[in-house]
Amino acid sequence: MDRSTQAGLPFRKMHGLGNDFVVIDARVGDDPMTPARARAIGDRHFGVGFDQLAVILPDETAAARVVYWNADGTTSDACGNATRCIAHLLMAESGADALLLRTGRGLLECADAGGGLVRVNMGPPQTGWRDIPLARDVDTLALPLDGAPVATGMGNPHCSYFVEAADAIDLATLGPETEHHPLFPERTNVQVVQVTGPDRLRVRVWERGVGPTLASGSSACAVTVAAVRRGLTGREVAVELDGGTLQVAWREDGVWMTGPVATVFEGRLDPSLMEAGQ
């Protein structure tokens, strides 16, 4: 382990509408994260617990590069709420009101939206079966699954079921069944979506590699794209999640998502936890 790990690795616990993150700033020194360490830190009983862990790394042109880890030790190219949290940190640090972050999704534009809100352009959606990706060529607007859900890529795969009552769905059963369906070679995030108005959606989320989560920025973007493609809403939508509401707008330059961020606490990871995760 490097010196920062031996001394207790500094971290922040943050969240966006209850979608919670461990944030590690590794712009100086080595990237400390491994799959085993991510699993150890992500354990909500023996570690810190998180929906995603985000490592901030240096970048030559963007404000930073960000790598996202799931609680099961896998990585993801996209995490909208974590991106907003990190943008908030770095804008506060630099005094800027806008910046670029490099992710597996590419360069993402982030901006201070005022009133404690941060917005991020999550980029254009992916609607072709190879890009999402799916295992074979099917209609992404009506997948050959019970309920004919919609598939969307936002740098990570999403499967959105439109239902009469989102709160009545057994997400604990539907979520893992769909996440691990053979149609999704990289597994998938799962949403149940209720249209409650021409510009409003009620959504519950099962997150790939995590399970049920209070909010998901990329999911909010995906369900908005799916609803627009089906002609159910306009292109600017309030997405009501279990943890609160995100504003999403599908524009020519990409899908913009706006919402609040919060820091819960700062601390240091005990060296024994890092050793256990080697």
pLDDT, tens digit, for every residue of 215-249?
A: 999 999 999 999 999 999 999 999 999 999 999 99
pLDDT at 33 over 50: yes
How far, CA to CA in Å, does 144 sit from each of 35, 137, 149, 166? 33, 11, 8, 21
How far, CA to CA in Å, does 30 sit from each of 34, 56, 133? 12, 11, 32
pLDDT at 213 over 70: yes
**Active site members:** 79
Asked if residue 124 lies in contact with residue 265, where contact means CB atoms within 8 angstroms, the answer is no
The total of other beta-carbon atoms located within 10 Å of residue 19's CB is 32
The verdict on whether residue 42 carries a ligand-binding annotation is no
Radius of gyration of the chain (CA): 18
The verdict on whether residue 16 carries a ligand-binding annotation is no
Phi-psi sector, 19: left (phi>0), alpha (psi -120 to 50), beta? beta
Domain 3-122+261-276: state its class: alpha beta
- At residue 131 the predicted structure's pLDDT band, cuts being 50, 70 and 90, is very high
71 burial class (0-12, 13-18, 19+ CB within 10 angstroms)?
Answer: buried
pTM for the whole structure = 0.92
The verdict on whether residue 121 carries a ligand-binding annotation is no
Please write the tens of the pLDDT for every residue from 44-100: 999 999 999 999 999 999 999 999 999 999 999 989 999 999 999 999 999 999 999
How far, CA to CA in Å, does 104 sit from each of 14, 67, 154, 180, 234? 21, 7, 11, 22, 28
Distance of CA 24 to the CA centre of its chain: 16
The verdict on whether residue 76 carries a ligand-binding annotation is no
Architecture of the domain defined by 150-252 = Roll (3.10)
The verdict on whether residue 81 carries a ligand-binding annotation is yes
Start-end of CATH 3.10.310.10 domains in the chain: 3-122+261-276, 150-252
